[in-house]
Amino acid sequence: MTDDFQNLPFKTRISQPFQEGQTIHALGQTTVNPKRVDFNFHRGAYKDADMPLHMSIRFDEGKLVYNTFENGNWSDNEQRLSNPFKPNEIFDLRVRILSGKYQVI
């Protein structure tokens, strides 16, 4: 790994809303004994802001979880998949903005 990586947690504000067709790219490395790694896209910086994308890599459960948080509530459409990530592994994650949804690559 190089020194170009940000320590976690990493938070940043985006000056413009995401646009359809854009791709967000995250490159990182999990620790030797990770519990969870979360990627959250918030609509605003305030407490309980809507979260159109919550992606949680849950090593402690062996799952990859997707969900949304809107109007103070988690969606009933939570998706739980088998976790493809490994401890102490470099990952290359890309999220493409599509019409009304996200594509995780």
List, for residues 5-40, the tens digit of each pLDDT value. Answer: 677 778 888 888 899 999 999 998 999 999 999 999
Does 1 reside within a domain? no
CATH code for position 64:
2.60.120.200
Does 27 reside within a domain? yes
Residue 42 burial by CB count (10 A; 0-12/13-18/19+): exposed, middle or buried?
middle
Q: Residue 44 to residues 20, 28, 79: CA-CA distances in angstroms?
A: 19, 25, 24
| In the predicted structure, residue 1 carries a pLDDT above the cut 80 | no
pLDDT, position 47: 86
| In the predicted structure, residue 49 carries a pLDDT above the cut 70 | yes
Judge whether 87 and 30 are in contact, CB under 8 Å.
Answer: yes
Domain count along the chain: 1
pLDDT, position 8: 73
Judged by average pLDDT, the poorest of 7-16, 79-88, 95-104 is 7-16
Which carries the bigger pLDDT value, residue 5 or residue 46? 46
Does 92 reside within a domain? yes
